[in-house]
Amino acid sequence: MADLAKGWIMSVPVLSTSHLLADTPERLLSAENGSYKVLEYDCGWFINVGSDSGSDTKAPTELLPVLEWFRMNFPGEVWIRFDADGDEITVLPRYNW
């Protein structure tokens, strides 16, 4: 068994799914937005947004403020977790769905 003290630790923000439109993850998987990776689980998604903000031009409009906030607060990280019970960030738009 690996010694966890020496292993990798993944630290990602856990944001409320209310910061996305209901179809955002599906649109991220579309051909036009193929640079994003989306992993679904029971209560939300993990989204790999990469480290290059240049790919943001293909991001859905509602995701742009999230990406800007994420890159300012978590430089060097590439994963965001969106969960039904995640944190609601006051400076980010929220959507009802």
Strands 14-16 and 79-83: parallel
* pLDDT tens digits along 57-96: 778 899 999 999 999 999 888 999 999 999 999 999 999 9
> pTM of the prediction?
0.84
Where b means 16+ CB within 10 Å and e means fewer, 53-63 reads eeebeebbebb
Strand 37-41 to 44-48 pairing: antiparallel
Convert the pLDDT of each residue in 6-50 to its tens digit. Answer: 777 778 899 999 999 999 988 887 756 557 889 999 999 999 988
Domain coordinates in residue numbering, the chain: 14-83
Of 5, 67, 74, 10, give the one whose Cα is nearest residue 33.
67
